[in-house]
Amino acid sequence: AAMRETRTKKTKTVCTFCGVGCSFEVWTKGRQILKIEPSEDAPVNSVSTCIKGKFGWDFVNSDQRLTTPLIRKGDEFVTATWEEALSLIGEKMSHIKNTYGGNALGFVSSSKTTNEDSYLMQKLARQVFETNNVDNCSRYCQSPATDGLLATVGYGGDSGTIKDIASAGLVIIIGANPTEGHPVLATRVKRAKKLYGQKLIVSDLRRHEMAERSDLYLHPKQGSDLVWLAAVTKYIIDQGWHDEDFIRERVNQYEDYLHMLKKYSLEYAEEVTGLSKEQMIKTAEMIHEADGTCVLWGMGVTQNIAGSHTSAAIANLLLATGNFGRPGAGAYPLRGHNNVQGSCDMGTLPQWLPGNQRLSDDAARAKFEEAYGVSISPKAGFTNIEMLQEVEKGNLKSMYLMGEDMAWVDSNSNHVHDMLGKLEFFVVQDVFFTKTAQFADVVLPASPSLEKDGTFTNTERRVQRLYQALEPMGESKPDWWIIQQIARQMGMDWNYSHPREIMDEIARLAPIFSGVSYDRLEGWNSLVWPVQKDGSDEPLLYTERFNFPDSKARFSLAEYVQPVDYEKEFDLILNNGRLLEHFHEGNMTNKSKGIQYKLPEVFVEVSPELASERGLQDGSSVRLISPYGFIKLRCIVTDRVKGNELYVPMHSVSHENAINMLTGSVGDVRTQTPAYKQTKVRMELIHVK
Ligand code: SF4
């Protein structure tokens, strides 16, 4: 062992900090991380990385890592052996299943874990506990984008690759800030603009760096993107700039769509969105003149009550203009976590089986019933959000949560805490003792990506392998290993000795993965699903057919839904989002010294107008109050935000300043994704400075 520790080892891994999916070699000596070395062979990033990928890794050696299982004894947690923890889980969960049935349990997977981990989580739910109550944390971010695309083009994923984006004539970014959220992808767009004169339109409440660089910056009223998207599409059709042949040959429901579009005149859109007619006409002209348009969007679109419908409106615009199925065109939801795409593909969703096969599809279900040896109900299970509602009603008794800090990340934290406290038996599996772990009965120590083998699927549907660079710290274990042990406690012996075997099973059961194998993914190799048996993949979707039985896409337009109605006293609109340096709730990046040094605390951005009206300066302390809770922050006065709009980063260090103390329970009308972006607050001054 001593010999090994003095040797420098290079291991290929895939970054875990965002959906771009950069890969690189990590140089280690013992547990020491020496450096990150990207390579020209890396399919997404080549020699680029960002600050998180390059410097964000020392959390793996944090002394705050969970290194043994913990069991609650009254108000305390005591360390336990794996055997004790697992047998307690087996006993309690069997009791709940036998007493109330499998539907009294809920399973939550994470978009940070591997495909193999997520696949086993849904298998545990469906086979061992015989319930479809399984979901993952994309419920909090990207489900509406998936829903809007499934309704229109048939696959819930990016339609092309990140490289394709660079070849578009026009890129439109809506409600996303790739400079901070998806840095390496942002670099590609910046470079294409500089080198090839690619045009850029940004629609966002916040005038962030990408907005500064744009040719046209749109600042619509909060939550109103659907309206200007529909109005621009209508204007394009009225001008005869649409792609008639494409629509006739490849898209259904055009007549209905035209009928729905009628009310979306420029005048109506001007009134609802606050954009000018000229801005919308300019947008239409730029789409008309461009050789290929890509639309990229993020949580500024999805975390609204009309998130799904707005995502569909984006697809409609692209369908009407023939912007699918060719390079430099298409729809690009920007997946936040490294494996948002993968965890959904793996069927940790209450109405989807692995490989994007519908639970309601009898043939697909029959295949899994045969493989699992149980009958699977065609009825969708509970989403994360519904799980908590069912706890309140007394129907859901137990949850098993993997890699997800629900107490921090879900909206309306105070309510979430009450519900988690009511669970009869709660298991949390994570790398750190999270806020959510405080509510658990058993806490299981998991290994982060550098300590395990597996695959991630990035935002462009690219499956890549990561290799184990470090031994699991202490008694921590890879998630797939832990899930398998729980299944064993319940009497089901799966017998996987390596994640490779799990991927083989996925390939057998999910046609879009049928040609995926660890051999084909060796080293820097990657595959973009759907992957045929012979190993041919499909980086560019929809060249021949959309993913519906008749091969045709569908227009889908829903009525615009007004944003959440608040009482008048809540007079400020609270927007929120990412910062470059941090990853989500900050559980990992807050443990990274370099990042903590650069950015020790979160803040609220206040417009110069509001600052002068309220007597605020840079550094003033304020209290923000919503109907759900309050937080305290310092101000930064900046013209990145306008008028009565505020911006707070979502990476808080403590509950004192955590955004979700303020967010409410209303969600997207189709997927229940919380409308985080539609939060209103009032402000009280604590100290001017
Ligand atoms: Fe990691 Fe994303 Fe940065 Fe690439 S862009 S290094 S995937 S955080």
The percent of residues in the chain predicted with pLDDT above 70, rounded, is: 94
| Confidence at residue 2, expressed as pLDDT on a 0 to 100 scale | 47
Ligand 1 atom closest to the Cα of residue 182 is 5
What ipTM describes this predicted complex?
0.99
| Confidence at residue 52, expressed as pLDDT on a 0 to 100 scale | 87
Our answer on whether the CB atom of 136 is closer than 6 Å to any ligand 1 atom is no
| Confidence at residue 677, expressed as pLDDT on a 0 to 100 scale | 74
Same domain, 603 and 484: no
Our answer on whether the CB atom of 17 is closer than 6 Å to any ligand 1 atom is yes
Best residue among 13, 20, 457 to mutate for probing ligand 1's pocket (most ligand atoms within 8 Å of CB) is 20
Between CA 157 and CA 159 the distance in angstroms is 6
Number of Cβ within a 10 Å radius of residue 373: 8
**Residue ID of nearest Cα to ligand 1 atom 2:** 18
Out of 333, 349, 372, pick the residue that ends a domain: 333
In a domain, residue 588? The reply is yes
In a domain, residue 465? The reply is yes
Best residue among 13, 18, 337, 651 to mutate for probing ligand 1's pocket (most ligand atoms within 8 Å of CB) is 18
| Confidence at residue 652, expressed as pLDDT on a 0 to 100 scale | 61
Between CA 302 and CA 458 the distance in angstroms is 18
Q: What DSSP string runs through 88-113?
A: HHHHHHHHHHHHH-GGGEEEEE-TTS
Ligand 1 atom closest to the Cα of residue 17 is 8
In a domain, residue 183? The reply is yes
The CATH number of the domain holding residue 677 is 2.40.40.20
Residue 131 token pair = 């319930």
Our answer on whether the CB atom of 49 is closer than 6 Å to any ligand 1 atom is yes
User: Among 218, 213, 223, which residue's Cα sits nearest to residue 203?
Assistant: 218
Q: Coil, strand, or helix at residue 639?
A: coil
Same domain, 396 and 417: yes
Between CA 123 and CA 53 the distance in angstroms is 31
CA 679 to chain centre: 20
The CATH number of the domain holding residue 42 is 2.20.25.90
Our answer on whether the CB atom of 625 is closer than 6 Å to any ligand 1 atom is no
**For residue 634, what is the enclosing H or E element?**
strand 630-637
The CATH number of the domain holding residue 168 is 3.40.228.10
Best residue among 24, 50, 592 to mutate for probing ligand 1's pocket (most ligand atoms within 8 Å of CB) is 50
Cα(588) to ligand 1 centroid in Å equals 14
Q: What DSSP string runs through 18-61?
A: STT--EEEEEEETTEEEEEE--TT-TTTTT---HHHHHTTGGGG
Our answer on whether the CB atom of 22 is closer than 6 Å to any ligand 1 atom is yes
Same domain, 313 and 186: yes
Our answer on whether the CB atom of 50 is closer than 6 Å to any ligand 1 atom is yes
**Residue ID of nearest Cα to ligand 1 atom 4:** 22
Residue 410 token pair = 């879900």
Same domain, 164 and 302: yes
Our answer on whether the CB atom of 53 is closer than 6 Å to any ligand 1 atom is yes
Please report the sign of the dihedral spanned by the C-alpha atoms of residue 301, residue 302, residue 307, residue 310: positive
**Each residue's pLDDT tens digit, 146-187:** 888 999 999 888 999 998 999 999 999 999 888 878 888 888
| Confidence at residue 598, expressed as pLDDT on a 0 to 100 scale | 57
Our answer on whether the CB atom of 15 is closer than 6 Å to any ligand 1 atom is yes
Same domain, 171 and 274: yes
Our answer on whether the CB atom of 45 is closer than 6 Å to any ligand 1 atom is yes
| Confidence at residue 580, expressed as pLDDT on a 0 to 100 scale | 53
Spatial contact of 476 and 67, defined as CB atoms under 8 Å apart: yes
Cα(53) to ligand 1 centroid in Å equals 5
Query: Could you tell me the residue range of the domain that residue 636 belongs to?
Result: 572-687
**Ranges in the chain, pLDDT < 70:** 1-5, 140-141, 564, 578-600, 651-657
Number of compact structural domains in the chain: 4
Q: Is the peptide bond before 530 cis (omega within 30 degrees of 0)?
A: yes
Cα(539) to ligand 1 centroid in Å equals 20
**Residue ID of nearest Cα to ligand 1 atom 1:** 53
Our answer on whether the CB atom of 184 is closer than 6 Å to any ligand 1 atom is yes
